Amino acid sequence: MIIIIQCKDQVGLVADISRILSEAKLNIISMREHVDKAENRFFMRLEVDGTADELILKERMQQILPEAAIVHVNPVPDKKIVVMVTKEYHCLADILIRNSFGTLGANVLCVIGNHAVLAQICKRFDIPFFLIPYHEDKELSEREIINKIKLYEPDYVVLAKFMRILSPEFVANFRSKVINIHHSFLPAFAGASPYKQAFERGVKLIGATAHFVTDDLDEGPIIAQQIIPVNHSFTAADMVKSGQEIETAVLAKALRLVFNDRVFVHKNKTVVFE
């Protein structure tokens, strides 16, 4: 059983939580906790052994925790996701392979693309692919995508190189549920063509960032990041090729952390229990 807690900090929280678990005859297998002193915010992830009524346990936790505490007892182990793509295959292919072998930690319900390029690979993995191109009326296109996603009721929407800027309306429909992979080490080189920007700047490191999507372009809470060295011999094309490998790895790591309920979001930051 997994228990997730986020609330205001106060003296005695760990002792009180441990007491509730002990009274329920639950043994703590793993406990990770963090206090953000600047925000006076407490975060905890527990893995416990034993059986208990989840609703009763949640009620008892909320009785001893500060007001407005967020408590999740035994979240669904396999999340449901919808993947959105454009033309690049590397992140999608990795997701589909992991999904096929049952190592993703989630079930891919469908893939939505604004180009038909990746329809064939989805067919090979027997995953529904829906082509929804962007028209001149962007709002109409987004509404069609939103309606399609809502039919599946996913836990998360994964942007696996979906190269379009999403509107505030889209984000509002899936608040804290949209995960994006950006091809730079944010906050450096946000927006379009980061590898071209990096090449022109002559950087010695390039990276990738997985983050939750907010209304502010490429400024959402960061889940995972990674960098690799480059040098003067790298062309812009070389950087793209190397970058695609790190994008795949960073997105895979971020999804694993999120699907295992190891990522807490508060305001524009995350607490990640790796």
| Residue numbers annotated as active site | 218
Do 64 and 17 contact (CB within 8 A), yes or no? Answer: yes
Helix (H), strand (E), coil (C) string for 132-198: CCCCCCHHHHHHHHHHHHHHHCCCEEEECCCCCCCCHHHHHHCCCCEEEEECCCCCCCCCCCHHHHH
Rounded to whole angstroms, how far apart are CA atoms 77 and 248? Answer: 23
Alpha-carbon distance of 216 to 192, in angstroms, equals 14
Six token digits for residue 2: 């997994």
Upstream peptide bond of 229 is cis (omega within 30 degrees of 0):
no
Helices (H) and strands (E) in the chain, counts: 8, 13
> In this structure, are strands 70-73 and 41-49 parallel, antiparallel, or unpaired?
unpaired
The pair of three-digit structure tokens given for residue 101, joined into one six-digit string:
């072998």
